[in-house]
């Protein structure tokens, strides 16, 4: 198996399905986002967004911000849905 080929294939399939991912970097207090999420949020090529900037994109005021909610429980067994301000239109994102 070729790891790069597998990664590229999985990335293409996720993009075609309008799916992406992000990974929290607790040291830099930022998310590292997949190509699809980066494009959706209008991020630079490095695909990085700070927790603070990500939280500013949450449109529904009654929702708790992700950084406080996501790390309350390290197991992250809860699913959260956010209405985010994106480059296209407001978009619902499931995390």
Sequence ranges of the domains in the chain: 3-94
Higher pLDDT, 2 or 50: 50
- Flag the least confident range among 33-42, 57-66, 68-77: 68-77
Tell whether the model's pLDDT for residue 63 goes beyond 70: no
Alpha-carbon gap, residue 19 to 39, rounded angstroms: 12
Give the model's pLDDT for residue 52: 95
Tell whether the model's pLDDT for residue 47 goes beyond 80: yes
Question: Quick one: tokens of 85?
Answer: 């301000």
Question: Quick one: tokens of 78?
Answer: 């809860």
Alpha-carbon gap, residue 74 to 54, rounded angstroms: 19
By DSSP bridging, strand 30-33 and strand 22-25 are antiparallel
Closest CA to 91 of 19, 23, 24, 40: 40
What is the distance, to the nearest Å, from the Cα of residue 32 to the centroid of all Cα atoms in its chain?
A: 8
């Amino acid at each position: 198996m070729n790891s790069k080929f597998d990664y590229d294939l999985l990335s293409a399939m996720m993009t075609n399905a309008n799916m992406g991912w992000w990974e929290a970097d607790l040291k830099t207090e930022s998310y590292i986002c997949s190509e699809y999420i980066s494009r959706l949020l209008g991020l630079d090529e490095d695909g990085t967004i700070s927790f603070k900037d990500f939280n500013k994109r949450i449109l529904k005021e009654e929702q708790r911000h992700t950084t406080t909610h996501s790390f309350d429980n390290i197991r992250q067994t809860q699913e959260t849905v956010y209405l985010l301000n994106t480059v296209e239109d407001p978009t619902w994102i499931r995390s």
